[in-house]
Structure 1
């Protein structure tokens, strides 16, 4: 809708506000999301006269309406952190946009708390994820501090909340415990705080690995690794014994001073869904009265993948070719092609036109345009897309299309 014109001091200059009101659409949090709705319109500028008139200028209007859904690992609904007074510990929080439009997020904690978050503002494309860093710096002797992390979808919600739980590390320093080597247990370090898999085809398994390091200069540690959780059968530890490889849900290993050990975790999904578990790493061979190493690495993975093929095109060995015929100056030429998702999961598709595929030089959208240029294609569905060419020069235009 057009609002009242506001005049400036210069009578030849004025401003017009255009408001877009998205229509109401009832959808639950469990409903599958299709592509975002696209609304097109145009503003024509004409001279207000009693006689015949023509359009002076036109302005195209484009709006996308969809849903933002923010996902975080289920094991991180409450984020525990442990630190000594005056020191800072950090933890990575992965956030995924499972919606069908871009998510603009504002992330913040209580101003008076001992927690901080960076960055405080992020933008996440549909189907993509970002990582934010949560830091905890205890300032007093309270044994436990709780705060609330809020994630607000701009400009008007929804809002997500996560509990931050900070605990004071009261373990004694090495100088006080050096006389008792059994209590002086250096930490075991890991280069990953969580492990996540993207889409994995059903019937296939994908391996990821992380490294454990014994930070001690003199103590050898016995560790026990155990996978637990609601989908623990989908995750397994992979070990090598000579020429033989074994898969199991638990494993014991010995790690010598300053030694690095590579641990391999296999994910084999059993259904098209998000699956979660956790890998517990504990110290074995210690009495319950002695402190030891104990921490958890969250595991998460998605079952099923998308597979995009183009139809009504010429297929080459590694690409597709579409030929635009009858290209003439100031004439719009259109060609249609079909896109099919033969996979088991919805796909986020982005279409980009290049003048040079090697250098990734973008083409002027006024010459070659695909609309919409990004959308969600549901599993086992097919959609038709059009390529529009408007050549403003007396030469033939060529479009190189690359799909991410």
Structure 2
């Protein structure tokens, strides 16, 4: 009941709460989740009267019910942070929303006066999204070793996750190892590649690339954990030898003896016509109480490829041929044909004229012109190319001769833009 407002008085307001209760479901932690359920309803506002009255206003209601599930690496359930006095060290805790609804996280270290801190303290993650939370330790006196619990709470009703944090003060002579630095206790792992990049790969096909890792120690065997992470991690896999057979996996552990080189194979299998990104994490394990050191090698690849063919020319076994008739010295002869891209990605094309078929002697531009000689050809399109030839006296005396060889160099345009 809402009383009527009198002249000169402010109208009264009535607050209506709408409560949504999601249906109860038993879901195990290992169960594969479907998409979140969506529920729709409507609130109609009308005057309560014995006679039919029109609806004053309708308000649509929408609710989603799903599972909040946060994943963090098992080897980071306890984090060791080592730092010298008056300095700071930092490690990252990757958190991934493995559920099917958006989550808002409260990330806190309970208690006061702690030298351990976390950033950010509030985090919003969409399904499948991953974020690295920074945990820092900044001791101010030699006895500032401490142990705390990092609590990750999913608002508003849970669940809650906990990570044990251990901060320890070390002397300046035993500085903790961080990526990019090294010490005598933990020798560096060397790699012959800083990143792996694939050009356009046709959908349904795969391509393998390799990188080499070296244990640069002269005495210590290294145990490494390799893991592929990122937004498109399903498109990249490690090819790992298990016994006598090779398997594809997203993670594995390897052992490298002192001064030994080991080859790592990474397979790229694109699933769509776009850029796919991930990273290969290489982490050292099993080195007493020292925190693991993580190295990252970016992975990138494109799905789809361009495919160039020539139209209105004579096709030979491994090339094409065009014939220019009635050559007259000092008079230009022209012929037009088409370059067509039948692939699924844009191509960059460059045409170069040579005097010989071995690509050793460039032809003078006064004798041969190619218009255009450089162009971008989008997928499923074509470009007309004009060959303008101005023969010399000797060439016009022959009835049939090979005048020149034109090479068309083609490549992926998106990759060219990325690496130019």
Q: Secondary structure at the match of 2:393?
A: coil
Q: How far apart in 1 are the matches of 2:278 and 2:172?
A: 29
Contact 1:236 1:248 in 2 (8 A): yes
> How far has the Cα of 1:329 moved from its partner?
1.3
1:399 maps onto 2:404 in alignment: yes
> How far has the Cα of 1:356 moved from its partner?
0.6
Query: Which one has a bigger Cα radius of gyration?
Result: 2
Go from structure 1 to structure 2 and tell me whether the alpha carbon gap of 1:173 and 1:325 turns closer, same or farther (over 3 Å shift).
farther
Go from structure 1 to structure 2 and tell me whether the alpha carbon gap of 1:234 and 1:171 turns closer, same or farther (over 3 Å shift).
farther
User: 2:210 corresponds to which residue?
Assistant: 209
Go from structure 1 to structure 2 and tell me whether the alpha carbon gap of 1:369 and 1:380 turns closer, same or farther (over 3 Å shift).
same
Contact 2:312 2:337 in 1 (8 A): yes
User: 1:301 corresponds to which residue?
Assistant: 301
Q: How far apart in 1 are the matches of 2:360 and 2:306?
A: 25
Q: How far apart in 1 are the matches of 2:393 and 2:173?
A: 77
User: 2:193 corresponds to which residue?
Assistant: 192
Structure 1 residues 248-278: Cα deviation after superposition (integer angstroms, max 9, x where no partner)? 1101111111111100000111111111100
Go from structure 1 to structure 2 and tell me whether the alpha carbon gap of 1:398 and 1:222 turns closer, same or farther (over 3 Å shift).
same
1:362 maps onto 2:362 in alignment: yes
Contact 2:357 2:404 in 1 (8 A): no
1:283 maps onto 2:288 in alignment: no
Q: How far apart in 2 are the matches of 1:265 and 1:251?
A: 12
User: 2:240 corresponds to which residue?
Assistant: 239
Q: Secondary structure at the match of 2:290?
A: coil
> How far has the Cα of 1:292 moved from its partner?
3.5
Q: How far apart in 1 are the matches of 2:251 and 2:359?
A: 48
RMSD of aligned Cα (Å): 2.1
User: 1:389 corresponds to which residue?
Assistant: 389
> How far has the Cα of 1:333 moved from its partner?
0.9
Q: How far apart in 2 are the matches of 1:235 and 1:364?
A: 47
Q: How far apart in 1 are the matches of 2:403 and 2:195?
A: 45
1:252 maps onto 2:253 in alignment: yes
Structure 1 residues 28-78: Cα deviation after superposition (integer angstroms, max 9, x where no partner)? xxxxxxxxxxxxxxxxxxxxxxxxxxxxxxxxxxxxxxxxxxxxxxxxxxx
Q: Secondary structure at the match of 1:233?
A: helix
Contact 1:209 1:265 in 2 (8 A): yes
Q: Secondary structure at the match of 1:361?
A: coil
Please give the residue correspondences for 1:317-336 in structure 2 after superposition, counting only pairs within 5 Å: 317-336=317-336
Go from structure 1 to structure 2 and tell me whether the alpha carbon gap of 1:211 and 1:279 turns closer, same or farther (over 3 Å shift).
same
Contact 1:187 1:293 in 2 (8 A): no
Go from structure 1 to structure 2 and tell me whether the alpha carbon gap of 1:319 and 1:242 turns closer, same or farther (over 3 Å shift).
farther
Contact 1:188 1:293 in 2 (8 A): no
Query: TM-score w.r.t. structure 1 length?
Result: 0.53
Q: How far apart in 2 are the matches of 1:243 and 1:265?
A: 19
For structure 2, list consecutive stretches of 5 or more residues without a partner in the other structure: 1-170, 176-182, 397-401, 410-420
> How far has the Cα of 1:284 moved from its partner?
2.3
Contact 1:328 1:394 in 2 (8 A): no
User: 1:346 corresponds to which residue?
Assistant: 346
Q: How far apart in 1 are the matches of 2:328 and 2:295?
A: 67
> How far has the Cα of 1:303 moved from its partner?
1.3
Give aligned pairs, total: 227
Q: How far apart in 2 are the matches of 1:262 and 1:349?
A: 35
Query: TM-score w.r.t. structure 2 length?
Result: 0.51
Q: Secondary structure at the match of 1:379?
A: coil
Q: Secondary structure at the match of 1:247?
A: strand
User: 2:312 corresponds to which residue?
Assistant: 312
> How far has the Cα of 1:373 moved from its partner?
0.5
